[in-house]
Structure 1
Amino acid sequence: MDAEGQESFREFVRSRSGALLRTAVLLSGGDQHAAEDLLQNALVKAVGRWYRIDEPEAYVRQVLYRQQISRWRLKWPRRELAVAEPPETPVAGDGASTAELRIVLRGALAKLTARQRTVLVLRYFEDLPEAEVAALLGCSVGTVRSTTHRSLARLRGLAPELARLEGPGTRTGSPDFSPVEVGP
């Protein structure tokens, strides 16, 4: 790669690594170290094909999703690290801050299976349509719908205080994760 290509890649990493890392953190269930590994591997794959990539961010996101899928398809998946429970959950109407909701959401997402978490991140954080999620995950649209339904039900059970994230523009029962950014 020539100097111009190197500078172009460096600029891409500088400008987009924060957003890509947030997605990786969500995909990895809040595990910062696993997210950093996931992103680093995706960037390594991207630098090798830098001149042939038309849309670098789309390419890197696709690599992130596929690497995460490969992780949860392993014959013997890694055990999730058990962590302390999130702080006391906010009571409705007490003006809980966005930071507290972020902690609750991250903890609840970490308790979902990798497949459930991946489907929710792609559908609601990345705002992808069901057909695109199905294509990325290599499954049917029906599987995406049923996994989304079960994942949301489990998420609501794990963190009922997230119900206040539902806005007037959201589908009934589907959270709008956009106001709460889950990042490092």
Structure 2
Amino acid sequence: MSDDETFRDFVTRQWEPLSRTAYLLTRDRALAEDLVQSALEKTHRHWRRVDAPEVYTRRVMINTAISWRRRRRWTEVPLLPTDEGGQSDPYGQADNRQVLLRALRSLPPRTQAILVLRYFEDRSEAEIAQVLGCSAGSVKSQASRGIARLRELLRQEGAGNTSTSLLGGLA
């Protein structure tokens, strides 16, 4: 199989999981697609040298998302209808999801990445450490601090009674 064929196969298999991660990192479907395409473009440039394409592509995606966020920090403030808080969705689960995403959005980018990879993608500490280029202990401590901060933010947002259910499967 040629390099182009193996890359095409990789993209076909990984598009959905990468898109899901990108959405959780960017909270915007269009930006998520741009992020995945940008990461895949960078991966394709180095395809012959990449030993673990999934890990490499996720690392590129996370680094690119952080870079985009730094660049946009002072010039763009996304205002989505769901950010206004005055609108309520008749389905409690959707409301809870928005509360959780808002709280997640306020965390530092690296902590967001760790929580997304750990709890939304169900990756192990070792896999996350490999993706982010840090130790497993660092992943554990940042995840623990991130969960504590999420609980605090949910309490502040008035979701105190529901914070346990919002964090459901999160440690």
TM-score normalised per structure 1: 0.65
Report if the CA contact (8 A) 1:89-1:104 is conserved.
Answer: no
1:70 to 47, 67, 71: 67
Aligned length: 162
Classify 1:115/1:155 alpha carbon distance in 2 versus 1 (closer, same or farther; 3 Å): farther
Name stretches of at least 5 consecutive residues in structure 1 with no aligned partner: 91-95, 177-184
Distance across 2 between alignment mates of 1:55 and 1:137: 13
* Pair 159,113 (structure 1): closer, same or farther in 2 beyond 3 Å: farther
- How many percent identity over aligned positions? 33
Cα-Cα RMSD: 3.7
* Aligned-partner Cα distance in 2 for 1:55–1:130: 14
Separation of aligned partners in 2, 1:46 and 1:6:
12
Of stretches 155-164 and 129-138 in structure 1, the one that deviates more from structure 2 is 129-138
C-alpha distance in 2, partners of 1:106/1:56?
A: 28
For 1:100-134, what per-residue CA distance to the aligned partner results, in whole angstroms no more than 9, with x for missing partners?
Answer: 54444444434555455334213322434299559
Give the number of the structure with larger relative contact order, counting CA–CA contacts within 8 Å between residues 6 or more apart. Answer: 1
User: Contact 1:42–1:63 at 8 Å: present in 2 too?
Assistant: yes
| Shift in alpha-carbon separation, 1:132–1:10, aligned structure 2, 3 A | closer
User: 2:34 aligns to what SS in structure 1?
Assistant: helix
Residues 7, 132 of structure 1: CA spacing in aligned structure 2 closer, same or farther, 3 A cutoff? closer
Q: Which residue of 2 aligns with 1:150?
A: 149
Shift of residue 31, structure 1, vs aligned partner: 1.5
Deviation at residue 39 of structure 1 after TM alignment: 1.1
Equivalents in 2 of 1:24, 1:166: separation in Å? Answer: 20
* CA positional deviation for 1:44: 0.5
